[in-house]
């Protein structure tokens, strides 16, 4: 089963050339580009569109169902075809030119995540041409509003829910094959997300009496607000080992002895052992063990000689599994300790449940990874950011967040940045991964 390399490269470059940029206000997005992307799929993957039942749920979702040979729990392969805007300086080529340079294809979306979308459809198309049919029903679920946290994927999941679909296996973007491995382990590692922190924005508002600045009270709204800001920064959420992080330590401990004591010692934070781990893992450790807080925007008065009647800031939280948007809000109120300051939730999502790893599906993913990257170990971890797959936890206990591609630290830094690019060799390996995976579904 030789790969049709030229076809894959040709298709992928055409996907990159379409400017499927999602915006907060999707009516301002280039909708013709999204439509052209869907048309491109239909044109280039005729066997897939012939075999599949095709639906377009939500604003710009694509849902393809390939019937299985027998009854049984279905699987879902996910990706998104929208990309973030290209407003940064620093591109050395046309961000939508799909230029090839030194064995790499350049352009927005080459890593995030038209690569996995391309990998999925190329693998399915090739396998269908070879007479393959999945054992159980297989769904391909592609969203076009991931980057703006739109509702398309929620709608796709609702469509599946209405059909009574309960997937045994869901795979979406997330971790990757990391050549540098995890700290302390000098080995390539396939890192697979099993849960995501929640994310929420709260507006904190202090009030004051308006009036002339020449006869001020002791504290203005801005002053009261500043105190709240300082209190929040000085009282980080308590650190603790949440379930996904415990599972991660436990699994990595099987590979790197230095992690053993965290995994099994029923970790007490701020013991010397954990402090040592914090040193090994650097700043990511903080994000792993607590709900983080970042004061991100501030609004206050409008003139130099007028007392503001209100001032507010927004604090962005990344919520650890085991907590909720509600409990986090209660913690903020407790810390601010001033009933006259209001805390209101603007938007957000709770952390996801933790996907199982003691199951045949996890084992299957591990085997396909080992088959594709024989020199890589395999380990679970918790994502800090949000992916579309968070919606799938509602209908599946096996939602795994893993972009089957090799990505160096440098390449991970290119995601959402200038000169995003993928090595052609890595793109082809992604297709191979999905080809192998499909024969197990
Ligand atoms: Zn993405």
Q: Which CATH class is domain 198-349?
A: alpha beta
How remote is the CA of residue 385 from the centroid of ligand 1, in Å?
10
Q: Check residue 154 and give its pLDDT.
A: 96
How remote is the CA of residue 81 from the centroid of ligand 1, in Å?
8
How remote is the CA of residue 143 from the centroid of ligand 1, in Å?
10
How remote is the CA of residue 422 from the centroid of ligand 1, in Å?
14
How far is 433 from 431, CA to CA, in rounded Å?
A: 5
How remote is the CA of residue 6 from the centroid of ligand 1, in Å?
25
How remote is the CA of residue 403 from the centroid of ligand 1, in Å?
9
The three-state (H, E, C) secondary structure of 124-181, written as one string: HHHHHHCCCCCCCCEEEEEECCCCCCCCHHHHHHHHHHHCCCCCCEEEEEEEEEECCC
Answer whether residue 282 shows pLDDT above 70. Answer: no
* Tokens, residue 414: 């290119």
How remote is the CA of residue 135 from the centroid of ligand 1, in Å?
28
pLDDT tens, position by position, 387-396: 999 999 999 9
Q: Check residue 202 and give its pLDDT.
A: 98
Which range has the top average pLDDT, 81-95, 183-197, 221-235?
A: 221-235
How far is 47 from 45, CA to CA, in rounded Å?
A: 6
How remote is the CA of residue 342 from the centroid of ligand 1, in Å?
34
Answer whether residue 289 shows pLDDT above 90. Answer: no
How remote is the CA of residue 384 from the centroid of ligand 1, in Å?
13
* Averaged pLDDT of the chain: 92
Domains 5-195+378-438 and 198-349 share a fold: no
Helix runs in 219-374, H state only: 221-234, 243-253, 260-264, 272-281, 284-289, 325-336, 360-372
How remote is the CA of residue 101 from the centroid of ligand 1, in Å?
23
How far is 81 from 145, CA to CA, in rounded Å?
A: 8
Rg of the Cα atoms in the chain: 24
Contact indicator for 147, 82 with CB cutoff of 8 Å: yes
How remote is the CA of residue 269 from the centroid of ligand 1, in Å?
33
How remote is the CA of residue 80 from the centroid of ligand 1, in Å?
7
pLDDT tens, position by position, 339-357: 999 999 999 999 999 999 9
**Domain residue extents for the chain:** 5-195+378-438, 198-349
How remote is the CA of residue 263 from the centroid of ligand 1, in Å?
30
How far is 288 from 320, CA to CA, in rounded Å?
A: 8
pLDDT above 90 as % of the chain: 79
How remote is the CA of residue 117 from the centroid of ligand 1, in Å?
11
How far is 142 from 172, CA to CA, in rounded Å?
A: 10
Answer whether residue 235 shows pLDDT above 90. Answer: yes
How remote is the CA of residue 376 from the centroid of ligand 1, in Å?
23
Q: Check residue 16 and give its pLDDT.
A: 98
- Segment (H or E) for 377: strand 377-383
How remote is the CA of residue 114 from the centroid of ligand 1, in Å?
9
How remote is the CA of residue 146 from the centroid of ligand 1, in Å?
7
* Tokens, residue 340: 């006259």
How remote is the CA of residue 415 from the centroid of ligand 1, in Å?
9
pTM listed for this prediction: 0.90
pLDDT tens, position by position, 243-278: 898 888 888 878 877 666 665 555 555 556 566 666
Tell me which architecture the domain covering 5-195+378-438 has in CATH.
3-Layer(aba) Sandwich (3.40)
């Amino acid at each position: 089963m030789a790969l049709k390399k030229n076809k894959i490269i040709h298709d992928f470059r055409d996907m990159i050339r379409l400017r499927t940029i999602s915006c907060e206000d999707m009516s301002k997005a280039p909708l013709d580009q999204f439509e052209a992307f869907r048309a491109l799929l239909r044109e280039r993957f005729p066997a897939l569109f012939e075999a599949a039942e095709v639906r377009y749920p939500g604003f710009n979702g694509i849902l393809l169902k390939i019937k299985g040979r027998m009854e049984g729990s279905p699987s879902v392969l996910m990706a998104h075809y929208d990309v973030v805007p290209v407003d940064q300086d620093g591109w050395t080529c046309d961000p939508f030119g799909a230029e090839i340079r030194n064995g790499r294809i350049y352009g927005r979306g080459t890593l995030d995540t038209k690569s996995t979308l391309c990998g999925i459809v190329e693998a399915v198309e090739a396998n269908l041409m070879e007479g393959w049919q999945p054992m159980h029903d297989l769904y391909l679920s592609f969203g076009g509003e991931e980057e703006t946290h739109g509702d398309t994927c929620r709608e796709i999941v609702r469509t599946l829910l209405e059909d009574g679909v309960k997937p045994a296996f869901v795979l979406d973007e997330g971790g990757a094959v990391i050549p540098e491995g995890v700290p302390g382990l000098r080995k390539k590692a396939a890192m697979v997300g099993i849960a995501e922190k929640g994310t929420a924005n709260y507006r904190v508002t202090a009030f004051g009496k308006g009036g002339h600045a020449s006869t001020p009270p002791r504290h203005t709204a801005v002053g009261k607000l500043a105190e709240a800001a300082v209190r929040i920064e000085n009282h980080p959420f308590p650190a603790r080992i949440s379930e996904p992080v415990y599972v991660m330590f436990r699994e990595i401990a099987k590979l790197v002895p230095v992690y053993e004591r965290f995994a099994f010692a029923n970790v007490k934070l701020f013991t010397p052992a954990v402090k040592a781990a914090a040193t090994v893992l650097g700043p990511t450790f903080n994000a792993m063990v607590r709900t983080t807080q970042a004061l991100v925007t501030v609004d206050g008065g409008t003139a130099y000689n007028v007392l503001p009647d209100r001032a507010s800031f927004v604090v962005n939280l990344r919520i650890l599994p085991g907590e909720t948007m509600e409990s986090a809000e209660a913690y903020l109120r407790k810390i601010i300790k001033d009933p006259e300051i209001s805390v209101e939730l603007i938007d957000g999502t709770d952390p996801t449940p933790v996907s199982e790893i003691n199951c045949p599906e996890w084992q299957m993913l591990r085997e396909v990874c080992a088959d594709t990257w024989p020199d890589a170990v395999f380990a679970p971890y918790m994502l800090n950011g949000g992916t579309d797959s968070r919606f799938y936890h509602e209908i599946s206990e096996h939602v795994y967040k893993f972009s089957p591609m090799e990505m160096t630290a440098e390449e991970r830094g290119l995601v959402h940045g200038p000169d995003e690019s993928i090595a052609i060799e890595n793109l082809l390996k992604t297709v191979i991964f999905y080809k192998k995976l499909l024969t197990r579904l």
